[in-house]
Amino acid sequence: MADAEFRWLVPADHPAFAGHFPGRPIVPGVVLLDRAILFGEEMLGKPGLNWQVGNAKFFSPVGPEEALTFSLTTKPSGAIAFTVRAAERDVASGSLTAAAP
């Protein structure tokens, strides 16, 4: 069970699409990580934390205007496990650890 779920509709005009990739825009993994971190900060109610990526796996490419669901769960260690899904498709998963700024 997730501690929190967040939805994000990938904007068709996201700046990352300009060079990633011409003719077939794909959301870079770093953008998905950035969204997971922002949602983690929102879940914790603590913006501006320093983050470490414990691990990250990317399973399926994401294009413009796809609706994504980010599920975040706090682990006993304090790390946040995340999964990203688009409809019935797994997109990414991993873990993040927050530290005070």
CATH number at residue 57: 3.10.129.10
* Global pTM value: 0.93
Reading the chain (101 residues) residue by residue, the pLDDT tens digits are 569 999 999 999 999 998 888 889 999 999 999 999 999 999 999 999 999 999 999 999 999 999 999 999 999 998 999 999 999 999 999 999 998 66
Q: How many structural domains are present in the chain? A: 1
Rounded CA gap, 56 and 50, in Å?
A: 17
The residues near 101 (Cβ < 8 Å, ≥ 6 apart) are 48, 49, 50
Contact 61, 49 (CB under 8 A): no
Q: Domain range spanning residue 49?
A: 4-99
Burial class (CB in 10 A: 0-12, 13-18, 19+), 15: exposed
The three-point CA angle 90-15-97 to 5° equals 50
